């Protein structure tokens, strides 16, 4: 396995709208996705950064 990392970067603060973000990406198979987003989300330079550990959203 290589070193790969996928992120989602959204301009603005979307911490309160993580459920809507998951809905837009149509990834609600895992009930824990909102919890994972909440734990891994960062706000950097005015961007909400979400780590896509499973690399699901890049496809």
Q: For residue 3, what pLDDT is reported?
A: 65
Q: Which residue has the tokens 């690399």?
A: 55
- In whole angstroms, give the CA distance from residue 41 to residue 38: 5
Q: For residue 27, what pLDDT is reported?
A: 66
Q: For residue 29, what pLDDT is reported?
A: 62
Q: Which residue has the tokens 């990834």?
A: 27
Phi, psi of 51 (to 5 degrees): -85, 130
Domain ranges of the chain: 7-51
Identify whether the C-beta of residue 42 lies closer than 8 Å to the C-beta of residue 49.
yes
What would the pLDDT profile of 13-58 be if each residue is shown by its tens digit?
988 888 888 788 776 666 676 777 778 889 999 999 988 776 766 6
> Cβ neighbours of residue 57 under 8 Å, at least 6 residues apart?
6, 8, 25, 27
């Amino acid at each position: 396995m290589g070193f790969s990392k996928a992120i989602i970067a959204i301009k603005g603060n979307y911490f309160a709208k993580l459920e809507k973000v998951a809905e837009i990406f149509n990834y609600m198979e895992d009930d824990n996705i909102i919890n994972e987003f909440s734990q891994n989300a960062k706000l950097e330079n005015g961007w909400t950064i979400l780590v896509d550990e499973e690399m699901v959203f890049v496809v």
